[in-house]
A and B are shown apart, each in its own frame.
Chain A
Amino acid sequence: MSASNDLTDHCSDPKPFAYGGGWQYIFTFETVEPHIVARGDFNHECGFKFVDHVDSAGLVAYPVHKNFVHTVVPLQDILPHLSLQMGCKIARLHHIVIGSHVAKSDFIHYFDGHNCVSCTLYSSVFQVVESKIQKDRNRKRAVRLNLNKKAALADDINKKIRKSENMHDEKTLNIESVNLLKSDLNKQLDLEPTIEPTEFPPTPVDNDLSHKIISDFCAESSPSVLNESGCAVCGRLYPIKQLTRLKAIKNMLTVLHVSGITRIERSKAVQPIQELKGPVLDYRCNQVCDDCRKNLRKGKIPRHALANGLWLGAVPPELSCLSFVERLLIVHVRINSCLSVLHHLG
Protein backbone atom coordinates (compact mmCIF):
# COMPACT_ATOMS: atom_id res chain seq x y z
CA MET A 1 0.00 0.00 0.00
CA SER A 2 1.41 3.32 -0.97
CA ALA A 3 0.02 5.05 2.10
CA SER A 4 2.25 3.07 4.45
CA ASN A 5 5.21 3.61 2.13
CA ASP A 6 4.66 7.32 2.15
CA LEU A 7 4.37 7.33 5.92
CA THR A 8 7.74 5.65 6.29
CA ASP A 9 9.11 8.13 3.79
CA HIS A 10 8.03 10.99 5.97
CA CYS A 11 9.45 9.35 9.06
CA SER A 12 12.87 9.08 7.43
CA ASP A 13 12.66 12.74 6.48
CA PRO A 14 15.21 14.80 8.47
CA LYS A 15 12.51 17.33 9.41
CA PRO A 16 9.29 15.33 9.72
CA PHE A 17 7.13 18.01 11.38
CA ALA A 18 6.69 21.63 10.46
CA TYR A 19 6.89 23.61 13.70
CA GLY A 20 5.04 26.70 12.53
CA GLY A 21 6.30 29.68 10.59
CA GLY A 22 8.17 29.47 7.30
CA TRP A 23 6.77 28.54 3.93
CA GLN A 24 3.83 26.22 3.53
CA TYR A 25 4.88 22.66 2.76
CA ILE A 26 4.74 21.74 -0.93
CA PHE A 27 3.60 18.16 -1.45
CA THR A 28 5.29 16.23 -4.23
CA PHE A 29 3.55 14.81 -7.25
CA GLU A 30 4.37 11.26 -6.07
CA THR A 31 2.49 11.73 -2.79
CA VAL A 32 -0.65 13.13 -4.30
CA GLU A 33 -0.89 11.44 -7.68
CA PRO A 34 -2.18 7.93 -6.67
CA HIS A 35 -5.17 9.46 -4.84
CA ILE A 36 -6.34 12.05 -7.36
CA VAL A 37 -10.11 12.07 -7.95
CA ALA A 38 -10.44 15.05 -10.26
CA ARG A 39 -7.61 16.91 -11.93
CA GLY A 40 -6.97 19.65 -14.41
CA ASP A 41 -4.01 20.01 -16.73
CA PHE A 42 -0.56 19.69 -15.14
CA ASN A 43 2.56 17.56 -15.49
CA HIS A 44 4.52 15.41 -13.03
CA GLU A 45 6.92 18.24 -12.10
CA CYS A 46 4.29 20.31 -10.32
CA GLY A 47 4.09 20.78 -6.57
CA PHE A 48 0.90 20.79 -4.52
CA LYS A 49 -0.16 23.13 -1.77
CA PHE A 50 -2.83 21.91 0.68
CA VAL A 51 -5.89 24.18 0.58
CA ASP A 52 -8.85 22.61 2.36
CA HIS A 53 -10.60 19.46 3.55
CA VAL A 54 -14.23 19.56 2.40
CA ASP A 55 -17.24 17.41 1.51
CA SER A 56 -18.78 17.20 -1.96
CA ALA A 57 -20.75 20.43 -1.51
CA GLY A 58 -17.60 22.29 -0.48
CA LEU A 59 -15.72 21.07 -3.56
CA VAL A 60 -17.80 23.41 -5.73
CA ALA A 61 -15.78 26.33 -4.35
CA TYR A 62 -12.58 24.78 -5.76
CA PRO A 63 -13.15 24.18 -9.49
CA VAL A 64 -10.64 21.95 -11.23
CA HIS A 65 -10.05 24.42 -14.08
CA LYS A 66 -8.69 26.95 -11.58
CA ASN A 67 -5.72 24.70 -10.82
CA PHE A 68 -7.35 22.89 -7.88
CA VAL A 69 -6.99 19.14 -7.47
CA HIS A 70 -9.44 16.95 -5.56
CA THR A 71 -7.89 13.96 -3.80
CA VAL A 72 -8.57 11.32 -1.17
CA VAL A 73 -5.04 11.21 0.23
CA PRO A 74 -4.90 9.26 3.54
CA LEU A 75 -4.92 11.74 6.44
CA GLN A 76 -1.81 10.16 8.00
CA ASP A 77 0.16 11.25 4.91
CA ILE A 78 -0.74 14.90 4.91
CA LEU A 79 -1.29 15.72 8.59
CA PRO A 80 2.39 16.05 9.57
CA HIS A 81 2.73 18.91 7.09
CA LEU A 82 -0.40 20.87 7.97
CA SER A 83 -0.83 23.61 10.53
CA LEU A 84 -2.24 22.61 13.90
CA GLN A 85 -5.27 24.78 13.23
CA MET A 86 -6.11 22.92 10.03
CA GLY A 87 -5.43 19.61 11.82
CA CYS A 88 -7.98 20.52 14.52
CA LYS A 89 -10.52 21.40 11.85
CA ILE A 90 -10.05 18.03 10.15
CA ALA A 91 -10.26 16.22 13.51
CA ARG A 92 -13.59 17.95 14.20
CA LEU A 93 -14.94 16.92 10.80
CA HIS A 94 -13.99 13.30 11.54
CA HIS A 95 -15.43 13.44 15.09
CA ILE A 96 -12.06 12.76 16.71
CA VAL A 97 -11.95 14.29 20.20
CA ILE A 98 -8.66 16.09 20.84
CA GLY A 99 -7.83 18.30 23.82
CA SER A 100 -7.03 21.94 23.26
CA HIS A 101 -3.36 21.72 24.30
CA VAL A 102 -1.92 18.86 22.32
CA ALA A 103 1.59 18.96 20.91
CA LYS A 104 1.80 18.54 17.17
CA SER A 105 3.98 15.45 17.51
CA ASP A 106 1.28 13.69 19.59
CA PHE A 107 -1.46 15.08 17.40
CA ILE A 108 -0.82 12.59 14.56
CA HIS A 109 -1.37 9.54 16.82
CA TYR A 110 -5.02 10.43 17.35
CA PHE A 111 -5.54 9.54 13.70
CA ASP A 112 -3.82 6.10 13.96
CA GLY A 113 -6.13 3.41 12.61
CA HIS A 114 -8.90 5.92 12.15
CA ASN A 115 -11.74 5.01 9.81
CA CYS A 116 -15.20 6.60 9.75
CA VAL A 117 -18.03 7.59 7.42
CA SER A 118 -16.54 11.05 7.01
CA CYS A 119 -13.42 9.49 5.54
CA THR A 120 -15.39 8.50 2.44
CA LEU A 121 -17.39 11.75 2.29
CA TYR A 122 -14.59 14.28 2.67
CA SER A 123 -11.79 14.88 0.25
CA SER A 124 -8.68 17.04 0.39
CA VAL A 125 -8.17 19.91 -2.03
CA PHE A 126 -4.73 20.87 -3.30
CA GLN A 127 -3.63 23.74 -5.43
CA VAL A 128 -1.14 23.18 -8.21
CA VAL A 129 1.96 25.33 -7.75
CA GLU A 130 5.37 25.51 -9.34
CA SER A 131 7.80 23.05 -7.83
CA LYS A 132 11.31 24.15 -6.93
CA ILE A 133 12.78 22.62 -10.09
CA GLN A 134 10.34 24.53 -12.30
CA LYS A 135 10.95 27.80 -10.47
CA ASP A 136 14.71 27.42 -10.93
CA ARG A 137 14.29 26.64 -14.59
CA ASN A 138 12.03 29.63 -15.22
CA ARG A 139 14.38 31.97 -13.47
CA LYS A 140 17.34 30.73 -15.48
CA ARG A 141 15.38 31.09 -18.70
CA ALA A 142 14.44 34.69 -17.84
CA VAL A 143 18.07 35.53 -17.15
CA ARG A 144 19.17 33.92 -20.41
CA LEU A 145 16.53 35.83 -22.42
CA ASN A 146 17.62 39.08 -20.86
CA LEU A 147 21.26 38.37 -21.68
CA ASN A 148 20.39 37.51 -25.30
CA LYS A 149 18.49 40.77 -25.62
CA LYS A 150 21.42 42.75 -24.32
CA ALA A 151 23.86 40.94 -26.62
CA ALA A 152 21.64 41.63 -29.65
CA LEU A 153 21.43 45.30 -28.74
CA ALA A 154 25.18 45.56 -28.26
CA ASP A 155 25.75 43.88 -31.64
CA ASP A 156 23.42 46.31 -33.32
CA ILE A 157 25.18 49.35 -31.95
CA ASN A 158 28.65 47.94 -32.61
CA LYS A 159 27.63 47.51 -36.26
CA LYS A 160 26.56 51.15 -36.36
CA ILE A 161 29.90 52.18 -34.89
CA ARG A 162 31.80 50.25 -37.53
CA LYS A 163 29.65 51.74 -40.28
CA SER A 164 30.28 55.26 -39.10
CA GLU A 165 34.00 54.52 -38.89
CA ASN A 166 34.01 53.52 -42.54
CA MET A 167 32.01 56.52 -43.63
CA HIS A 168 34.04 59.24 -41.97
CA ASP A 169 37.67 59.66 -42.77
CA GLU A 170 38.41 62.38 -40.31
CA LYS A 171 39.53 60.87 -37.01
CA THR A 172 38.20 63.59 -34.78
CA LEU A 173 34.68 63.13 -36.06
CA ASN A 174 35.01 59.38 -35.68
CA ILE A 175 36.00 59.55 -32.08
CA GLU A 176 33.12 61.84 -31.27
CA SER A 177 30.48 59.76 -32.99
CA VAL A 178 31.89 56.51 -31.62
CA ASN A 179 31.87 57.90 -28.11
CA LEU A 180 28.33 59.05 -28.61
CA LEU A 181 27.21 55.64 -29.79
CA LYS A 182 29.09 53.89 -27.00
CA SER A 183 27.45 56.03 -24.34
CA ASP A 184 24.16 55.30 -26.11
CA LEU A 185 24.89 51.59 -25.84
CA ASN A 186 25.67 51.83 -22.13
CA LYS A 187 22.58 53.89 -21.50
CA GLN A 188 20.32 51.45 -23.33
CA LEU A 189 21.85 48.48 -21.58
CA ASP A 190 21.31 50.15 -18.24
CA LEU A 191 17.78 51.24 -18.96
CA GLU A 192 16.66 48.03 -20.62
CA PRO A 193 15.44 46.10 -17.55
CA THR A 194 13.47 49.07 -16.14
CA ILE A 195 11.43 49.87 -19.27
CA GLU A 196 8.09 48.12 -19.22
CA PRO A 197 5.93 48.00 -22.31
CA THR A 198 3.00 50.36 -21.79
CA GLU A 199 0.01 50.85 -23.95
CA PHE A 200 -0.30 54.22 -25.63
CA PRO A 201 -2.69 55.92 -25.76
CA PRO A 202 -4.16 54.31 -22.62
CA THR A 203 -7.57 52.71 -23.00
CA PRO A 204 -10.52 54.65 -21.52
CA VAL A 205 -11.40 53.88 -17.90
CA ASP A 206 -13.73 50.91 -17.66
CA ASN A 207 -16.42 50.44 -15.03
CA ASP A 208 -14.36 48.16 -12.81
CA LEU A 209 -11.45 50.58 -12.58
CA SER A 210 -13.62 53.63 -11.99
CA HIS A 211 -15.52 51.69 -9.32
CA LYS A 212 -12.24 50.80 -7.66
CA ILE A 213 -11.01 54.40 -7.79
CA ILE A 214 -14.25 55.77 -6.37
CA SER A 215 -14.57 53.18 -3.62
CA ASP A 216 -10.90 53.63 -2.65
CA PHE A 217 -11.44 57.36 -2.44
CA CYS A 218 -14.56 56.89 -0.33
CA ALA A 219 -12.70 54.53 1.99
CA GLU A 220 -9.80 56.97 2.39
CA SER A 221 -12.04 59.96 3.00
CA SER A 222 -14.70 58.33 5.17
CA PRO A 223 -15.54 59.99 8.50
CA SER A 224 -14.06 57.05 10.41
CA VAL A 225 -10.64 57.83 8.87
CA LEU A 226 -10.74 61.62 8.97
CA ASN A 227 -12.53 62.31 12.28
CA GLU A 228 -10.31 63.56 15.05
CA SER A 229 -10.71 63.51 18.78
CA GLY A 230 -8.69 64.59 21.80
CA CYS A 231 -6.39 62.43 23.89
CA ALA A 232 -7.20 62.68 27.60
CA VAL A 233 -3.57 62.25 28.67
CA CYS A 234 -1.82 64.76 26.39
CA GLY A 235 -4.78 66.82 25.19
CA ARG A 236 -3.70 66.68 21.54
CA LEU A 237 -5.99 65.97 18.61
CA TYR A 238 -5.56 62.60 16.90
CA PRO A 239 -7.40 60.71 14.15
CA ILE A 240 -9.93 58.41 15.76
CA LYS A 241 -8.05 55.37 14.40
CA GLN A 242 -5.09 56.13 16.66
CA LEU A 243 -7.22 56.40 19.80
CA THR A 244 -8.36 53.75 22.23
CA ARG A 245 -10.65 53.85 25.23
CA LEU A 246 -9.15 55.38 28.36
CA LYS A 247 -11.07 52.93 30.55
CA ALA A 248 -9.01 50.05 29.19
CA ILE A 249 -5.86 51.38 30.92
CA LYS A 250 -7.44 53.04 33.95
CA ASN A 251 -5.29 50.92 36.30
CA MET A 252 -2.10 52.37 34.81
CA LEU A 253 -3.02 56.00 35.36
CA THR A 254 -1.43 56.09 38.83
CA VAL A 255 1.76 57.63 37.38
CA LEU A 256 -0.31 60.65 36.41
CA HIS A 257 -1.12 61.52 40.06
CA VAL A 258 1.12 64.60 40.14
CA SER A 259 0.57 67.40 42.64
CA GLY A 260 1.12 71.09 41.96
CA ILE A 261 -0.13 70.96 38.37
CA THR A 262 -3.88 71.45 38.51
CA ARG A 263 -6.01 74.10 40.15
CA ILE A 264 -9.73 74.39 40.73
CA GLU A 265 -11.30 77.55 39.30
CA ARG A 266 -12.12 80.21 41.90
CA SER A 267 -14.76 82.89 41.57
CA LYS A 268 -13.92 84.84 44.75
CA ALA A 269 -10.67 85.73 46.46
CA VAL A 270 -11.83 84.23 49.75
CA GLN A 271 -12.01 80.72 48.30
CA PRO A 272 -8.97 78.54 49.07
CA ILE A 273 -6.65 77.42 46.27
CA GLN A 274 -7.31 73.73 45.68
CA GLU A 275 -6.13 71.05 43.31
CA LEU A 276 -8.25 68.68 41.32
CA LYS A 277 -8.32 65.16 42.73
CA GLY A 278 -7.27 62.14 40.70
CA PRO A 279 -4.84 61.80 37.80
CA VAL A 280 -4.04 64.86 35.69
CA LEU A 281 -6.25 64.33 32.67
CA ASP A 282 -8.44 66.29 30.33
CA TYR A 283 -11.74 65.04 31.69
CA ARG A 284 -13.70 66.12 28.62
CA CYS A 285 -11.99 63.35 26.61
CA ASN A 286 -12.46 59.64 27.19
CA GLN A 287 -9.85 58.28 24.82
CA VAL A 288 -6.09 57.95 24.81
CA CYS A 289 -3.62 58.09 21.90
CA ASP A 290 -1.32 55.20 21.03
CA ASP A 291 1.77 57.22 21.91
CA CYS A 292 0.62 57.94 25.47
CA ARG A 293 -0.75 54.45 25.98
CA LYS A 294 2.58 52.89 25.04
CA ASN A 295 4.41 55.01 27.64
CA LEU A 296 1.76 54.45 30.33
CA ARG A 297 1.98 50.70 29.82
CA LYS A 298 5.70 50.96 30.60
CA GLY A 299 4.83 52.96 33.73
CA LYS A 300 6.31 56.21 32.37
CA ILE A 301 4.77 59.67 32.18
CA PRO A 302 4.40 60.45 28.45
CA ARG A 303 6.54 63.35 27.23
CA HIS A 304 3.60 65.45 26.12
CA ALA A 305 1.30 64.48 29.01
CA LEU A 306 -0.66 67.21 30.79
CA ALA A 307 0.79 65.77 34.01
CA ASN A 308 4.23 66.82 32.76
CA GLY A 309 3.48 70.43 33.69
CA LEU A 310 1.45 71.17 30.58
CA TRP A 311 -1.97 71.30 32.26
CA LEU A 312 -3.90 74.50 31.56
CA GLY A 313 -7.52 73.63 32.22
CA ALA A 314 -10.45 74.83 30.19
CA VAL A 315 -10.26 78.36 28.78
CA PRO A 316 -13.02 80.41 30.46
CA PRO A 317 -15.41 82.64 28.47
CA GLU A 318 -13.83 85.69 30.14
CA LEU A 319 -10.63 85.06 28.18
CA SER A 320 -11.97 83.46 25.03
CA CYS A 321 -14.28 86.40 24.24
CA LEU A 322 -11.45 88.96 24.10
CA SER A 323 -10.45 90.56 20.81
CA PHE A 324 -6.91 90.93 19.47
CA VAL A 325 -6.23 94.32 21.03
CA GLU A 326 -7.84 93.32 24.31
CA ARG A 327 -5.51 90.33 24.49
CA LEU A 328 -2.59 92.70 24.01
CA LEU A 329 -3.67 94.53 27.13
CA ILE A 330 -3.69 91.60 29.54
CA VAL A 331 -0.25 90.13 28.90
CA HIS A 332 2.78 90.74 31.11
CA VAL A 333 5.27 90.89 28.26
CA ARG A 334 5.01 91.93 24.66
CA ILE A 335 7.19 90.15 22.17
CA ASN A 336 5.60 91.67 19.07
CA SER A 337 4.95 95.15 17.83
CA CYS A 338 2.01 95.38 15.50
CA LEU A 339 1.11 97.53 12.56
CA SER A 340 -2.59 97.52 11.89
CA VAL A 341 -3.99 98.85 8.63
CA LEU A 342 -7.67 99.80 8.47
CA HIS A 343 -9.28 99.96 5.05
CA HIS A 344 -12.25 102.18 4.49
CA LEU A 345 -14.84 100.20 2.56
CA GLY A 346 -17.36 102.74 1.24
Chain B
Amino acid sequence: MASHVIAFETPISKVYQHLPPPMEDLDEVLAILFTGPCKPTEKDFQRTPLLVRRKQVACALEWLNLNHSDYADLEKNMFGSWNKSTE
Protein backbone atom coordinates (compact mmCIF):
# COMPACT_ATOMS: atom_id res chain seq x y z
CA MET B 1 0.00 0.00 0.00
CA ALA B 2 1.18 3.51 -0.78
CA SER B 3 0.16 6.54 1.18
CA HIS B 4 -0.08 10.23 0.51
CA VAL B 5 -0.45 12.84 3.23
CA ILE B 6 -1.73 16.41 2.96
CA ALA B 7 -1.35 18.69 5.97
CA PHE B 8 -3.48 21.78 6.65
CA GLU B 9 -2.80 24.54 9.14
CA THR B 10 -5.29 24.73 11.99
CA PRO B 11 -5.50 27.14 14.90
CA ILE B 12 -4.13 25.73 18.15
CA SER B 13 -7.17 24.84 20.21
CA LYS B 14 -5.68 22.92 23.07
CA VAL B 15 -2.40 22.09 24.79
CA TYR B 16 -2.45 18.46 25.80
CA GLN B 17 -1.37 17.48 29.29
CA HIS B 18 -2.38 13.86 28.77
CA LEU B 19 -0.40 12.06 26.12
CA PRO B 20 -1.07 10.25 23.89
CA PRO B 21 -4.32 12.11 23.27
CA PRO B 22 -7.66 10.26 23.30
CA MET B 23 -8.67 8.73 20.02
CA GLU B 24 -11.68 11.02 19.55
CA ASP B 25 -9.38 14.06 19.50
CA LEU B 26 -7.24 12.53 16.84
CA ASP B 27 -10.27 12.26 14.59
CA GLU B 28 -10.26 16.03 14.33
CA VAL B 29 -6.75 16.30 13.02
CA LEU B 30 -6.20 13.13 11.04
CA ALA B 31 -8.42 11.75 8.31
CA ILE B 32 -7.56 8.67 6.32
CA LEU B 33 -8.97 8.01 2.89
CA PHE B 34 -8.74 4.67 1.14
CA THR B 35 -8.70 4.61 -2.64
CA GLY B 36 -8.69 1.52 -4.79
CA PRO B 37 -10.88 -0.88 -6.73
CA CYS B 38 -12.12 -2.85 -3.72
CA LYS B 39 -12.87 -2.44 -0.05
CA PRO B 40 -9.76 -2.80 2.13
CA THR B 41 -9.62 -6.07 4.00
CA GLU B 42 -8.29 -6.82 7.47
CA LYS B 43 -5.04 -7.92 5.87
CA ASP B 44 -4.71 -4.56 4.14
CA PHE B 45 -5.20 -2.75 7.42
CA GLN B 46 -2.30 -4.65 8.87
CA ARG B 47 -0.01 -3.29 6.15
CA THR B 48 -0.86 0.44 6.19
CA PRO B 49 2.05 2.78 6.91
CA LEU B 50 -0.10 4.63 9.43
CA LEU B 51 -0.05 2.06 12.19
CA VAL B 52 0.98 3.10 15.67
CA ARG B 53 3.40 0.97 17.68
CA ARG B 54 2.19 1.53 21.22
CA LYS B 55 5.43 0.36 22.77
CA GLN B 56 7.55 2.78 20.73
CA VAL B 57 5.27 5.70 21.61
CA ALA B 58 5.40 4.72 25.29
CA CYS B 59 9.22 4.55 25.14
CA ALA B 60 9.42 7.94 23.46
CA LEU B 61 7.12 9.55 26.03
CA GLU B 62 9.12 7.96 28.82
CA TRP B 63 12.34 9.37 27.41
CA LEU B 64 10.83 12.83 26.93
CA ASN B 65 9.48 12.78 30.47
CA LEU B 66 12.96 12.11 31.78
CA ASN B 67 14.96 14.38 29.53
CA HIS B 68 12.73 17.16 28.23
CA SER B 69 11.79 20.01 30.54
CA ASP B 70 8.43 20.58 28.76
CA TYR B 71 7.40 16.97 29.36
CA ALA B 72 8.47 16.85 33.02
CA ASP B 73 4.89 17.24 34.35
CA LEU B 74 3.36 14.97 31.75
CA GLU B 75 0.40 12.85 32.78
CA LYS B 76 0.74 9.63 30.92
CA ASN B 77 -2.43 8.24 29.50
CA MET B 78 -0.78 5.19 28.01
CA PHE B 79 -3.54 4.37 25.57
CA GLY B 80 -6.14 4.12 28.31
CA SER B 81 -8.96 4.89 25.93
CA TRP B 82 -7.39 3.13 22.97
CA ASN B 83 -8.71 -0.25 22.00
CA LYS B 84 -7.46 -0.54 18.42
CA SER B 85 -3.93 -0.12 17.18
CA THR B 86 -4.90 1.62 13.95
CA GLU B 87 -6.34 5.04 13.74
Contacts and interface: CB of A to CB of B under 8 A. Distances in A.
Contact of B35 (A328, A331, A336, A343): A343
A318 interface: yes
Interface in B34-60: 34-38, 40, 44, 48-53, 56-57, 59-60
A325 B52 contact: yes
Given A338-B29, A342-B2, A344-B34, A325 B51 contact: yes
Interface of B: 1-10, 12, 14-17, 19-21, 26, 28-38, 40, 44, 48-53, 56-57, 59-64, 66-67, 69-70, 87
Given A266-B66, A333-B12, A339-B6, A328 B29 contact: yes
B74 to A, nearest CB: 9
B5 A333 contact: no
Contacts of A323: 49-53
A124 B69 CA distance: 76
A322 B57 contact: yes
A: interface residue count bin = 20 to 34
19 contacts: A318-B56, A318-B59, A318-B63, A319-B60, A322-B56, A322-B60, A326-B53, A329-B52, A330-B60, A330-B61, A334-B10, A336-B10, A337-B10, A338-B30, A341-B32, A342-B3, A342-B4, A342-B36, A342-B40
A147 to B, nearest CB: 65
A206 B34 CA distance: 60
A336 B8 contact: yes
A222 interface: no
Sort A-B residue pairs by CB-CB distance and give the 10 closest, nearest first. A344-B36, A329-B20, A336-B7, A337-B29, A318-B63, A341-B4, A341-B33, A266-B66, A339-B6, A340-B32
- Residue among A268, A321, A334, A343 with the most chain B CB within 10 A? A334
Interface in A289-346: 316, 318-319, 321-326, 328-345
A263 interface: yes
A326 B19 CA distance: 11
A321 B58 CA distance: 12
Given A318-B59, A330-B19, A334-B29, 5 more contacts: A330-B60, A336-B8, A339-B6, A340-B6, A344-B35
Contacts, number: 143
Contacts of B34: 341-342, 344
Contacts of A342: 1-4, 32-36, 40, 48, 50
A266 B1 CA distance: 39
B1 A319 contact: no
Contact of A345 (B2, B29, B31, B50): B2
B57 A330 contact: yes
B47 to A, nearest CB: 10
A252 B36 CA distance: 62
A343 B10 contact: no
A341 B35 contact: yes
A334 B11 CA distance: 8
A120 interface: no
Contact of B31 (A318, A322, A340): A340
B2 A337 contact: no
A269, A321, A338, A345: which has the most chain B beta carbons within 10 Å? Answer: A338
Contacts of B60: 318-319, 322, 326, 330
A338 B49 contact: no
Nearest to A312: B68
